[in-house]
Structure 1
Amino acid sequence: MIVFSSLQIRRGTRVLLDNATATINPGQKVGLVGKNGCGKSTLLSLLKKELSADAGSVSLPANWAMAWVNQETPALDVPALEYVIDGDREYRQLESELLVANEKNDGHAIATLHGKLDTINAWTIRARAANLLSGLGFSQPQLTQPVRAFSGGSGACALISRKPCCAGLICCCWTSRPTIWIWMRSSGWKSG
């Protein structure tokens, strides 16, 4: 569960939250609603550990996988499929280490890294990412289009799919643009 205890958040001299206390239990769906500038995005930044509370505390299980969607799609030349795969930092790190090990012809490191890649099921990453994007309405040709080519709902889907691509179970996911979820095709999401 996520627990906010006597939380205070300031932006400059302005107090956005003062002595706020709340508990969000697993399985609960919570909407954070308020006018512009009231602290919604600031609270999410606190959960992402981009900033600290001025007073009080926030706690959440260390084993929870967190995912979020930024407000804007970046203007990148990276193909949509690669952008989604980039969301799996562990895979990209191991891929980079393997490239170095291969350049050095370090057989021991290569074997170790192949074992780690096997553990995270890395050999199916492209298929899983493509399947996820397909489920969100992306066509096969769109998988190779640059991220900058997408906007609105399609861009949001690319951002959303980047997070859970290979992470397995996402325990908590949020966006500061909730209308995105209304637009998305629900048939693309599978539970299990």
Structure 2
Amino acid sequence: MSGQQRRSQQERRETTIGLLIDATIDTISEVGYAQTSLGAVCERSGVSKGGLFRHFDSRLDLVVAAAEEVARRHTQSVRARFAELRAPTIADAMRVMRERHRAVDNVVWFELLVAARTDPALRSRLSATWQWFFAEIQQIARTVRGTEVFSDADLELLVNTLEHTFDGETIRREIAPDPVVEDRRLELLVEFAEFLAARAGR
């Protein structure tokens, strides 16, 4: 087999996998994890079930691949926004972080985290993905101006706390949005983080 043929096969494989993952993300975002069947994914992607099983052994493998892709999109988007801002401040970083938590594709993580509570196999697989995801977020956080004064443990705690806050806010605002309170909450979080940074820098 020629190199060109191998490249063409690899390109087709990558295209098919991309279609399946995109369809999984879109389906989970629209109808939720429980209603995301392989049939729905195949219909949306235009890939047959036989084609799907050539690349993924199970629904679980496909769903985890979708979660990994959402994590990659999240970190790539944040890195790109930080690059645009040159030297983002803590306030800049929090605004970008909140935007990403509210992104449509990020709802996939909310759906899977809830499902993982009662699904040991999903919980086990997502745990490894989450560890990689959070490590990436920690690395990105270190590029924010002002975070150099934090110890690794304190920065991890701050980022983790912000993630929990923005996750909860994103879920709640679906049924009880309150932009005034949400903006004030962000201001308070910025003030708190800047206070911690000032104290750590003494």
TM-score of the aligned structures, taking structure 1 as reference length: 0.25
* Structure with more of its chain in strand, by fraction: 1
* Structure with more of its chain in helix, by fraction: 2
Q: Which protein has greater RCO, CA pairs closer than 8 Å, 6+ apart?
A: 1
TM-score of the aligned structures, taking structure 2 as reference length: 0.24
